[in-house]
Structure 1
C-alpha cells in the first residue's frame, strides 16, 4: 500500500465515520473531504468542481423537477385515484398500494412516489381504524424496489449508468435495468404483501396534517361541462365523504339557498359551499370538476403555477373589519380568498363578502411567486409548512406526452437523457406546471452536493490504485470461488454499506470496485455493475439507509429497530433472486 493510498483510505474512513454518525450534514462532510483532498494535492483544483457538471448530477436534479411537474399536472393522481379503498382486506390493500408504488417509482423518482401515496395510505388507515405502521413500511419498501426497474427510478441506477460511460465508453440505457429490476421487484413485493407486513409491530403513527389545523368554509364554482351539472347536491355526498369534505349548501345568482340544498339540482355557474381542510377541498374540486372564484383571471387552471396558502389574520392587518371585495384582492392582485376558518364556526355569508376578524385563518389561492408579496400587503402571516399545490388536472395528458417524448428521444439515441429531461422541464414551465420556485425547491441540494463532491474523490481513489487494492482483497479472499459467489459477496458488502451510508455514496464507491473485481477474474463488468446497482438501492435494515425509510419514520411511529424485522428477510430474498437474474440477463 502506497503513501497516497494510505492517506486517501484514511480520508474515506473519516468521511464514512461522519456519514454514519449523522450529526453533521452529509453534504457538508463530503464537501469538506473534497477540499482536504484538493489542498493535499490528490484532486487538481480545476477538477474539484467538475462533479457539479457530471451527467449523473444533472439527471438526478432534472428527474426531481420532472417528478414535481407530473404531480402538479394530476398525471400521478389519475393512477392514485384507483388504488385506495378503506374497505379492502389489509393484504389486498398492501398488494395494490405496493404495485402502484413500484410502478410510479419506475417512471418518477421513488421519493416523489412515496410522498404522494403515503398521504393516501395514511388517510385509508385512519378511515379503516388500523395502525398506519402496518402499511407505511411495505409502501416505502415497494417504492424502493420499483425504483430499480428503470434508469431514472433511483439515483444509484443513474450513478452506475454514468460510471459505465466513463469506464467502458457506453452508459446503460433507460431499460437495461428493467429485466433484473422487474424480477426482484415482483418477488420482493410478493413477500412484503403476503408475509413481510406481519412482521411489523403495530405502532401509533402521527398524521401529516395536524388535527387542530382547522376546517375552512370555501366556495367552489360549477364550471362549464362539469359532471356535477344536472345532479342533485345529495348525489355528490359519496364523493365528498371520500374526500373528507362536507357540502354545506349552494349559491345561485349571488344568493345562498336555504338549508343544505340537498334536493337542489346543480347548474352551471352555481357555487357549492364546502367545509374541509385545504388538501381535501382541492381534491374534491378536482374529482367533482369544480373551479374557484376568479379562475378566469388565470385562464382557469391553465395559466399559472397556482398554490394554496393558509395565513393567520393578526389585529391591525389591512383586511381586518373588511371583506375580500372591499380590498379588491382578486382584481388588484389576482389572488382569490378561497376559504375562511373561524374557530370551527360556520357562517352563511358569501366568503368574498365576509367581514374578516382578527384570529381568522384565510385560505388564499394564487400564483406561487406572488403569495409572499400579497400576504405582506394584506398584513397576514402565512403558516409555515401549510402550503398546498393546486393540481392542474387538465394538463395531465399533455404532461404525460411531454415526458414520454423526452424518454423516447433518449431511448432512440436522438439526444441524451439529460437533454431530453431538460426539454421536458422547459415544456412544463411553458405549460405553467412549474414555477421559478419549483425549479429550485424540488432539487435535493444536499444529495447534489454530496454526489458532486464524491465524484472527484472517487476518481482520486481509483487513480491511486486504491479501488484495485480493495478489489484484489475481495478476489484474494474468495480465491477459487466461482464468479457468481464473488458477485454475491460484492452485493452483500455493497448492501451492508447502503444500510448505513447514503445510497448515492455507496454506488459511487462500489461501482469502480465492481469493475476492478470483474477485470481481475476475467469476467464481464456488466453483471457486477448491475449487482452494485441493485445492492446500493436495497437499504431495508435502518431508517437512514434510504430517504424513503426516513420519511415514514415519524408518520408511522417506527423505532430504529423496527426496520430489520421485515428488512433483513427482504434483503436476503433480494440477494437470492438478484444473483441468478443477473446471470441470466447479463452473463459473466
Structure 2
C-alpha cells in the first residue's frame, strides 16, 4: 500500500508514516483512558488499523503472537492456577491469619509480605483475587476496617512485580526489548534487590499511612469479631430458608428428555434449578447445571422457589415429581460438590442495569444466582431474575467450586468477595500440593541457572503440573487470561512501528539534545517520571512497550549502559499507584475497599516519588552506568 502524501507540505512528507503511528497511538490512549471499550478490543483494533495504513506488514503487526515472552506469560497463568487448585495459595494466606493476631501493623506487614512472595511467581491479579477474601476475613475477625487493609494489599501486589523477572508482564516486555536490541537479557533475580528495597519502603509507608483514608470512627477497631460465615449462615442471611426443595423425576414426567430452558421453569413457574443429583456408576453426584442441561428419569432436583406449600405441591403433582427430604445440613454435607460465594459487581461492570435473565448468568458461568444483597439487606422478590443489577450489588452464587473460582478471572465485571468457611478443606487437587511445590522449585532453578530459556523452563513446569495431576488440560486452558495477552500483543506493533518509522530515533535525538548536560541520574529520573505520566492513562504493560525501546536507545546514544535504564522502566511501570484504572490489581480492590479515585491519588503520589528515590539510589549500584 502506498502512502497518500499529496496533502502534506514537502518537509512533512518523510514523516507521514510516523504521523500516522502517532495519531493511532493518541487514539489508543484516549480509548484506554475513557474505559468505554475493553482493553483487548482496543488492542485488536490497533493491530487492524496499523496494518491497513500500510505502516506495518501483516507479519510485522502480528509478530507478537510468536514472541516467546507471550508464551511465557500464558504458561505462568497455568502455574498460578496450579497453586490455587492444590491449595498452596490458600494455605499460605491461612497461615498469615494465624500469625498476624490482632495488631494492625503486624497484619498489614504479613499481608504485604505474603502477597509480594506469592506474586513473585504467579499473576498479581490472581494473588489479589486470592487475598481479597483473606483481608475481608481478617477485618471481620479483628474489627479493623477493611479500607485499612485493601490498599496495602493492592500496593504489595504491584510491588510483587518487582520481585522476579517473571512476576509481571512489563518485566518480560522490557526483557524482550533487550533481546530485540541484541543485548544480554536480565536474569531471574536481576530485579530482586531493587524490589526488596521498594517492598521495605512500601511496607513502612503503608504502616505510617494506614489511617489516612479512614474517618475518626473507622480508625479504632470495633469490638465485634464475627466468625467467618458458613454456608448455613449465608442461607440465613439471604433469607433462603424454606425456599430450597428436593424432588425426584418419576417415570412419565414431562421433565424427562427436556432441557431446563426448554421447560421455561423460571418464566412460567418461578422455579430455579440449582443442581441435579444423578447416579453415576455406584454413587450419586451433584452435577452443575445450565440452560441446556437435559433431565433424566430418577434425577433428583435441587430447587429454589418461593411458592407457598400448596403451590409447591401442585407443581409436583402436575409434573409427576416426588418430594424428597431436604435436611438443614444438606449443603454442608454436599460441600465438596456444591458451594456458595458472594460476588461483588465492580464499578465498571457491564452487568449493571441488566437482569440475570438478560445476561444469562447460568449459561455463561455455570452458576446460579440465588440471592442479591443491596443496601445492607437481601432483595426480596418473587422473581429474582427480572431484578436489574445495580453497581453496589453483591450476588450470592451457588454451584460447582471450580466454576466459582473461575469467576476470579472475570475481573472486568466482578470479584469474589468471600468464601464460606466450608471451603477451608476444599481444593480440587489438594493431595498434589507437594508435587506442585517441587514443580515450582524446578522451574525456578531452571530459570535461575539458565540451563534452558525461561519459556522452556515454564513449559517443563506446566507439563510436570499436568503429569502430577495438579491441573488438567481443560482448567489449564481456562486459567490463561487472554485479554492480558491480547493487550500486550496489540500494543507491540506500536514499538515496532515507532522504530521502523524513525520515531524512536527522533524522540531519542530530542531527548539527547535536552538531557545530555544533566548527567545519567537526571536522565534516569526523567525516564521514571515519563513512565509514571504515561501510566496514568494506559496500562503498565502498554507503557513498558512504548517506553522501553526509547530508554534503551537513549542510553546507547549517551554511551551509557542500557541496563539501568531498562531496569528503571520495569520498576516505574510496576509503580503505577496513582490511579485505579491502569491495572486490574487496583480496579479489583475499589469496591471491596470502598475507595474513591481521590483515595488512590492521595496515597499513590507520595509513594510513587518514594519508589523513584529508591530506584535512583539502588539501580546504579547493581547496574552501573
TM-score interval, normalised by the smaller of the two chains = 0.7 to 0.9
Q: What displacement does 1:126 show?
A: 1.8
2:144 to 130, 136, 141: 130
Q: What displacement does 1:87 show?
A: 4.6
Deviates more, 1:28-37 or 1:433-442: 433-442
**2:520 is aligned with 1:506:** no
**2:415 is aligned with 1:464:** no
Residue in structure 2 matched with residue 478 of structure 1 by the alignment: 515
Residue in structure 2 matched with residue 331 of structure 1 by the alignment: 282
Q: Distance in 1 between matches of 2:457 and 2:607?
A: 35
Q: Distance in 1 between matches of 2:516 and 2:549?
A: 20
Contact 2:544 2:573 survives alignment (8 Å):
yes
Q: Which string of whole-angstrom CA distances, capped at 9 and with x for unpartnered residues, describes residues 127-148 of structure 1?
A: 2233211110111101211221
Q: Which string of whole-angstrom CA distances, capped at 9 and with x for unpartnered residues, describes residues 448-479 of structure 1?
A: 11111222231111121101222222232324
Q: What displacement does 1:364 show?
A: 6.8
Residue in structure 1 matched with residue 70 of structure 2 by the alignment: 57
Residue in structure 2 matched with residue 446 of structure 1 by the alignment: 483
Q: Which string of whole-angstrom CA distances, capped at 9 and with x for unpartnered residues, describes residues 545-585 of structure 1?
A: 22111000011111111101111111010001111100100
1:552 to 589, 594, 604: 589
1:104 to 118, 122, 147: 118
Secondary structure at 2:401 match in 1:
strand
1:176 to 190, 195, 201: 190
Distance change in 2, residues 1:432/1:318 (3 Å):
farther
Contact 2:552 2:562 survives alignment (8 Å):
yes
Distance change in 2, residues 1:145/1:435 (3 Å):
same
**2:159 is aligned with 1:189:** no
Q: Distance in 1 between matches of 2:471 and 2:217?
A: 36
**2:159 is aligned with 1:145:** yes
Question: What aligned pairs does 1:166-315 form with structure 2 within 5 A after superposition?
Answer: 166-193=180-207, 195-202=208-215, 244-245=229-230, 275=232
Q: Distance in 2 between matches of 1:536 and 1:318?
A: 47
Please provide the CA RMSD for this pair: 3.6
Q: Distance in 1 between matches of 2:215 and 2:484?
A: 32
Secondary structure at 1:470 match in 2:
helix
Contact 2:29 2:537 survives alignment (8 Å):
no
Secondary structure at 1:130 match in 2:
coil
Where does the alignment leave 5 or more consecutive residues of structure 2 unmatched?
1-11, 219-225, 236-264, 289-300, 307-322, 340-361, 371-395, 403-425
Question: What aligned pairs does 1:485-564 form with structure 2 within 5 A after superposition?
Answer: 485-564=522-601
**2:90 is aligned with 1:77:** yes
Residue in structure 2 matched with residue 584 of structure 1 by the alignment: 621
Question: What aligned pairs does 1:352-431 form with structure 2 within 5 A after superposition?
Answer: 355-356=325-326, 365=336, 386=398, 387-389=400-402, 390-391=426-427, 392-431=429-468
**2:32 is aligned with 1:19:** yes
Q: Distance in 2 between matches of 1:120 and 1:34?
A: 40
Residue in structure 2 matched with residue 44 of structure 1 by the alignment: 57
Question: What aligned pairs does 1:108-123 form with structure 2 within 5 A after superposition?
Answer: 108-123=122-137
Residue in structure 2 matched with residue 432 of structure 1 by the alignment: 469
Q: Distance in 2 between matches of 1:431 and 1:367?
A: 25
Distance change in 2, residues 1:559/1:316 (3 Å):
closer
Contact 1:515 1:528 survives alignment (8 Å):
yes
Secondary structure at 1:328 match in 2:
strand
Distance change in 2, residues 1:502/1:323 (3 Å):
closer
Q: What displacement does 1:276 show?
A: 5.5
Q: Distance in 2 between matches of 1:59 and 1:204?
A: 47
Residue in structure 2 matched with residue 10 of structure 1 by the alignment: 23
Q: What displacement does 1:319 show?
A: 9.4
Deviates more, 1:74-83 or 1:118-127: 74-83
TM (norm. structure 1) is 0.72
Q: Distance in 2 between matches of 1:538 and 1:526?
A: 18
Q: Which string of whole-angstrom CA distances, capped at 9 and with x for unpartnered residues, describes residues 499-547 of structure 1?
A: 3211110000010010111012110100000000000111111111221
Secondary structure at 1:82 match in 2:
helix
Q: What displacement does 1:94 show?
A: 0.8
Q: Distance in 1 between matches of 2:272 and 2:39?
A: 44
Q: Distance in 1 between matches of 2:574 and 2:199?
A: 12
Q: Which string of whole-angstrom CA distances, capped at 9 and with x for unpartnered residues, describes residues 394-448 of structure 1?
A: 2211101011112212322222211221222222223333234422322221111
Distance change in 2, residues 1:203/1:24 (3 Å):
farther
1:93 to 101, 107, 114: 107
Residue in structure 2 matched with residue 268 of structure 1 by the alignment: none
Q: Distance in 2 between matches of 1:25 and 1:319?
A: 33
Question: What aligned pairs does 1:560-571 form with structure 2 within 5 A after superposition?
Answer: 560-571=597-608
Q: Distance in 1 between matches of 2:479 and 2:272?
A: 33
Contact 1:138 1:196 survives alignment (8 Å):
no
TM (norm. structure 2) is 0.68
Q: Which string of whole-angstrom CA distances, capped at 9 and with x for unpartnered residues, describes residues 268-327 of structure 1?
A: xxxxxx95569xxxxxxxxxxxxxxxxxxxxxxxxxxxxxxxxxx97799999x995xx5
